Every structure is written in structure tokens, then in C-alpha cells.
Amino acid sequence: MATKRPRFKVGETVFYPSAGVGVILAVEDIYLSGQVESCFVIRIQDTQMTVKVPKSNLEKSGIRPLLDGKKLKELFKILSAKGKRRVTGGNWAERCKDIERRINSGSCLELGEVVRDLTRWKKQSGLSFEESMLLETANSYLAREVAAVQGIAPDDARVRILSYIEERA
């Protein structure tokens, strides 16, 4: 069964992996690789950065609609669930690379797992500088999406996310 591709329109708020929550400002034709390509112009709220994403590249880029009510409930369940045990052996660079891959996957549920686990690890035994930076990025993306969905300030969303994580800690 083919998955239904989301249809986006100007004015819609979307989640863009590796950048966060943004608003589609326009659809623009640009000259790319010798041909005219129709692109979405997306303004990322957090950084005020503007990105142009070819419509033909939407699926590969991981852009998706914001969470709906069902996905939000699923996210809150993940945040309050028992987390993964911290693997202390092995290559920390590989572990950080995996965390970064999960953050940039576009999946709000993977993002939730990363925020939950890193927040708890930070409390238990601290984080490396790299892990702290990854936590800040993941936290920012998640808080901005929850804030946009629930119509609250990002700081209030951070507090709400933390309350779910600490429920089981």
C-alpha cells in the first residue's frame, strides 16, 4: 500500500528535520541543475533562516505536518516511558552520531526518545559537551513543535515536556 504524500500549502506550519518548525511562505520556481524546479520557501521560526525545498524532494527531506492529537499523546507516552540504559562502553563518537541521526530523522517520536534519554542521563551522571549540545538541539525542536501544536510559548512547552520525563525518573 502506498503511503499518502502530505499536501502542503502556503501559510502552513511544518516540521523540517535538522532545522525545526517553520512556515511555508511561498511556492517559487527556481533554476536547478539545468531545469526549472518548483520549491517551497520555508521560514524557520527559531533561527529566522529561509530554506527552499524542491517539491520533488519533499519526501526525501523529511518535511512533515506538525503532530496531530493522536501523535501528541503518543509522544507524551514516550516521554514518560522507561528510557534506554546508557551504554558507557564503546565509541562515544558513534553514539553521538546515532543520536544526531535520530534527531534529524524527522520522527517526533525518535526526537522524544532522545530528549527523554539525554535528560535522564544528564541527571544521573552528566553528559559530554557533544551530548549536551545534542540535547539542547533536540529539546529546542521538540519544544517548538509542541508549542506550535498546543498554542503555547516554547518555554511553557519545555516545562510540559520536562514534567512528563520526570514523571518516571
pLDDT one-digit tens code per residue, 16-37: 988 889 999 999 998 878 889 8
For position 62, what pLDDT does the model report? 85
Cβ contacts of residue 63 below 8 Å, gap of 6+? 8, 14, 15, 16, 17, 40, 42, 53, 106
Instruction: Indicate whether 60 and 83 sit together in one domain.
Output: no
Instruction: Indicate whether 98 and 26 sit together in one domain.
Output: no
Cβ contacts of residue 129 below 8 Å, gap of 6+? none
Instruction: Indicate whether 79 and 33 sit together in one domain.
Output: no
Instruction: Indicate whether 159 and 82 sit together in one domain.
Output: yes
| For residues 82-107, average pLDDT | 81
Instruction: Indicate whether 143 and 162 sit together in one domain.
Output: yes
Residue 1 lies in a domain: no
- Grid cell 525545498 is found at 53
Hey, which bits of 18-132 come out as E strands?
Answer: 20-32, 35-44, 50-54, 64-65
For position 2, what pLDDT does the model report? 44
| For residues 120-145, average pLDDT | 92
- Grid cell 541543475 is found at 33
State the CB neighbour count (10 A cutoff) for residue 151. Answer: 6
- For the chain, give the percent of residues with pLDDT over 70: 93
Instruction: Indicate whether 55 and 93 sit together in one domain.
Output: no
Report yes or no: 72 and 149 within 8 Å, Cβ to Cβ: yes
Summarised one tens digit per residue, pLDDT across range 67-85 is 988 999 999 999 998 877 7
Residue 51 lies in a domain: yes
**CA-to-CA distance for 26 and 8, rounded, in angstroms?**
11
- What total of structural domains would you count in the chain? 2
Instruction: Indicate whether 53 and 125 sit together in one domain.
Output: no
| For residues 38-50, average pLDDT | 90
CATH of residue 119's domain is 1.20.58.1290
| Strand pairing category for 13-16 and 35-44 | unpaired
Instruction: Indicate whether 47 and 75 sit together in one domain.
Output: no
For position 85, what pLDDT does the model report? 73
Residue 2 lies in a domain: no
Local confidence band at 87 (pLDDT 50, 70, 90 cut-offs) = low
- Domain with 40, as residue range(s), is 13-65
Instruction: Indicate whether 26 and 109 sit together in one domain.
Output: no
For position 146, what pLDDT does the model report? 95
Check whether 167 has a pLDDT greater than 80.
no
| For residues 3-14, average pLDDT | 78
CATH of residue 17's domain is 2.40.10.170
**CA-to-CA distance for 111 and 95, rounded, in angstroms?**
15
Cα–chain-centroid distance for residue 35?
31
Summarised one tens digit per residue, pLDDT across range 55-70 is 888 878 888 999 988 9
Instruction: Indicate whether 163 and 97 sit together in one domain.
Output: yes
What pTM does this model have? 0.85
